[in-house]
Amino acid sequence: MRSSYSHSKSTRPSQRKMVCTDLDGTLIGDDDSMYELLDIIDRNNILLVFSTGRHLPLVMKFLDEKKIRKPDACLCLVGTEIYVLEKGQFILDDRWSEIISEGWHRERVLGLLRNIKELVWQPEEFQTKFKASYFLTENREEVLKEIISRVEKAKLEVKIIYSCDQFLDFLPLKSSKSGSLRYLIKRLGVKKKDTIVCGDSGNDLELFRAGFRGIIVGNAHAELKNYKGKNAYHATREYSAGIIEGLRQLDFTGGVNP
């Protein structure tokens, strides 16, 4: 089993392809295949981006524990924060924060939800000015219908994302994983056709609905596994092994045998 991973000499982002992967349940799950995948990405000089519900300190904890290099960018807290690696440090993209703040009224959203007893507030580390998050495990369909009805009546600009049969996120309308990735590839000069997304749950679904080509790992939750778009490859293998399988099937490695 490998225990470390180092970044190779980089080239200009505009000359490279990009793999944008979720962490928990996608990249993370089996260390052997994870290190193999990261080596493939490195040897093929592909940009690596994490797209995750984690905040940056939890991403850094993962990197330290597994002794792997920092990705080239990180889309944290379901795409409400964008960090780009510059001179070895993650730098928050303030422009993205300005963009998603337009039309976002967090306190009004919270006010609409206060008397819904099935909603359970997530820990404070997952709450930010651009994200309000709950657990929802009971009466899910009825509660979601009620929430959508309230939001529509209030004419609030809010994105509602439910995933893994428990996580309910309220985000600015212009944010999410797909919005942040569209912004990032434009900033880095990477073409959409040269980008592969990888995921396992409902908060990854928008990436595929937005037309990104990608890989759904074999252990995906039903909300993503049921996606039938032609832009998705459904891997039979799980976690990082599923991503490797998908990269081979999509012939994404530029002639270097993975």
Backbone angles phi, psi at 257, to 5 degrees: -65, 120
Label each residue of 77-136 as H, E or C: CCCCEEEEEECCEEEECHHHHHHHHCCCCHHHHHHHHCCCCCCEECCHHHCECCEEEEEC
Pick the CATH number of 14-93+175-249 from 3.40.50.1000, 3.40.630.30, 2.60.40.10, 3.30.70.120: 3.40.50.1000
pLDDT exceeds cutoff 70 at 57: yes
Residue with tokens 């889309």: 75
Tell me the mean pLDDT in the region 52-70: 96
Predicted confidence at residue 8, as pLDDT, reads 41
Q: Quote the CA–CA distance of 106 and 99 in Å, as a whole number.
A: 15
Q: How confident is the model at residue 215 (pLDDT cuts 50, 70, 90)?
A: very high
Which residue in this structure is represented by tokens 């252990």?
Answer: 219
Residue 13 has pLDDT above 70, yes or no: no
Considering the chain, what is the average pLDDT of its residues?
91
The pLDDT of residue 80 is 96
Q: Residue 257: is its pLDDT beyond 70?
A: no
Query: Domain-by-domain residue ranges, the chain?
Result: 14-93+175-249, 103-172
**230 exposure class (CB count in 10 Å sphere: 0-12, 13-18, 19+):** exposed
Q: What is the DSSP string of 229-258?
A: -TTEEE-SS-HHHHHHHHHHHTT-STT---
* Per-residue pLDDT at 14 exceeds 70: no
Query: Token pair of 53, please?
Result: 């519900």
Q: What is the mean pLDDT of residues 232-238?
A: 98
* Separation between Cα atoms, residue 250 and residue 233, nearest integer Å: 8
pLDDT band at 254 (very low <50, low <70, confident <90, very high): low
Average pLDDT over residues 144-173: 93
Which whole number is the average pLDDT over 119-125? 93
Residue 55 confidence (pLDDT) above 80: yes
Cα separation, 128 vs 114, in Å, equals 17
CATH number for the domain running over 103-172: 3.90.1070.10
